[in-house]
A = this chain, B = another copy of it.
Amino acid sequence: MDDEQASGDAPAEARIAAARGSRNDHTRRHNLSALLTAVHYGGPLTRAQLTRDTGLNRSTIGGLVAELAELGLVLEDAAAETGAVGRPSLIVRPRTDVVALALHPDVDALELGAVAIDGTVLARRRASLEVPPTPADTVAFAWEAAREVAAELGGARVVGIGAAVPGLVDADGATVVDAPHLGWRDVVLGDALGDALGIPATVGNDANMGLRAEWSFGAAKGVDTVVYLNGSASGIGGAALVGGRMLRGGRGYGGEFGHMMIRSDGERCSCGRSGCLETEVNAPRLDAAAHDATALDGYAETLAAAIANLECAFDPDAVLLAGYLGALFDVRRSLVTERVKALAFRPDVEDVVIARAALGGNRLLIGAAERAFAPLLQDPAGIPLVSLA
């Protein structure tokens, strides 16, 4: 961020900062947040490492860690054998009995998981469905599954529940504006879940949740600028991390890369336009072309054109492909890479990593849980935890 300050590339940021002054206790909150965030993403860290990473004083770190321990958020272990000179430093790690619930309603199933603050999926429940779930089905399932998971986990404390929904979600983090494959329109799922379970609830787009998970614990760990494309039964979902922040857009509908026009002579799309990426490369087409090398080549080229376009716009450090796009990439890796390079507008395209997403079936649960953990990470002392028992 010093880099950012030097180049001064955060104009609106600055104007926003003007809206609120900083009180003295903001400092404490910020530092508690910094420490909890560090052990959340970085795993167990010694107090000495925290001291170096934050630039804070030893004594300050001691006080902050003590407060986090009192809040029941971290534990301190005796130091491991390092072989280094000097008094060994205590190891700080997040308590795994602090969990978030994660919910994923999809066309053919409902799934709920309990995810620990270190990203481990501790328990899960899944119900296969013949028809897409209604919002009421979804809330009922969440309630029942949460009870079962609570019984299984015993005394865990929960920070909230996050839901990953395949569709447009409003920037308020509660309203599903339009989820065509589920048949939902203007469903305030966040409020319904929160009321039913008695814990804070947030809703997000599934692609955003997926990228969040990959950024936290997967293939995009620690990278600053990422474009994410996920191919699923519900079409192609897109998301982007821009300068370390999720692309949201004015109303929360940013990142719909599945509906970027990629062939002006392409087929009519359900969205009313023609030649959208999602209509050109989709699950039925890929299934049909499973043993047709030429057809697969064509789809790979279309994917490459889309990636080149996105690189043009975002100049990402990494492009992440998930779902059937990840599978297509795996069987046409060199073709995609080469075509992107040929189509790329800019120098040093080699710097852009194209990779398949890493987290598999846990991705959405982890991403939704991350979203639920976010308020706790921002204000460790200010967010109450609810006992699951």
Q: Does A361 contact B (CB under 8 A)?
A: no
Contacts of A23 in B (CB 8 A): 27, 55-56
Contacts of A244 in B (CB 8 A): 10-13, 15-16
B7 touches A250 (CB 8 A): no
Cα distance, A155 to B130, chains bound together (Å): 78
Closest to A12 in B: B244
Cα distance, A159 to B87, chains bound together (Å): 48
B10 touches A272 (CB 8 A): no
What residues of chain A have their CB less than 8 Å away from a CB belonging to chain B?
1, 3, 5-24, 26-27, 30-31, 33-35, 37-38, 41-42, 53-56, 60, 168, 171-173, 177-178, 202, 212, 215-216, 222, 224-225, 238, 240-257, 259-266, 271-273, 275-276, 305, 308-310, 312-317, 342-343, 345-348, 351-352, 370-371, 373-375, 377-379
* A–B pairs, 30, beta carbons within 8 Å: A1-B16, A1-B20, A9-B248, A11-B215, A11-B216, A12-B241, A14-B374, A18-B33, A18-B37, A18-B38, A18-B42, A19-B34, A22-B34, A23-B56, A168-B347, A178-B347, A224-B250, A243-B248, A245-B245, A250-B317, A250-B352, A251-B346, A251-B351, A254-B313, A256-B313, A261-B308, A264-B266, A272-B343, A276-B345, A310-B313
B262 touches A18 (CB 8 A): no
Cα distance, A309 to B314, chains bound together (Å): 14
Contacts of A316 in B (CB 8 A): 249-250
| 10 nearest A-B pairs in the assembled complex, by CB-CB distance | A249-B315, A8-B374, A12-B244, A21-B54, A21-B56, A250-B317, A18-B38, A254-B315, A7-B173, A18-B37
Cα distance, A209 to B347, chains bound together (Å): 21
A346 touches B11 (CB 8 A): no
B8 touches A20 (CB 8 A): no
> Contacts A5-B378, A257-B313 known; A249 to B273 CB distance under 8 Å?
no
Among the listed B8, B14, B30, B262, which residue makes an inter-chain contact with A264, where contact means beta carbons less than 8 Å apart? B262
Cα distance, A213 to B261, chains bound together (Å): 30
Min CB–CB distance A307 → chain B (angstroms): 11
B308 touches A54 (CB 8 A): no
Contacts of A3 in B (CB 8 A): 171
Cα distance, A276 to B47, chains bound together (Å): 53
Min CB–CB distance A42 → chain B (angstroms): 8
Min CB–CB distance A15 → chain B (angstroms): 5
A21 touches B351 (CB 8 A): no
B312 touches A375 (CB 8 A): no
Cα distance, A215 to B60, chains bound together (Å): 40
B348 touches A251 (CB 8 A): yes
A21 touches B273 (CB 8 A): no
B261 touches A309 (CB 8 A): yes
Closest to A177 in B: B347
Min CB–CB distance A226 → chain B (angstroms): 9
Cα distance, A257 to B255, chains bound together (Å): 15
Known: A1-B20, A20-B55. 15 other contacts (CB 8 A): A3-B171, A5-B375, A5-B378, A8-B377, A10-B244, A19-B34, A20-B54, A22-B30, A24-B27, A249-B314, A250-B317, A251-B315, A251-B346, A257-B313, A260-B313
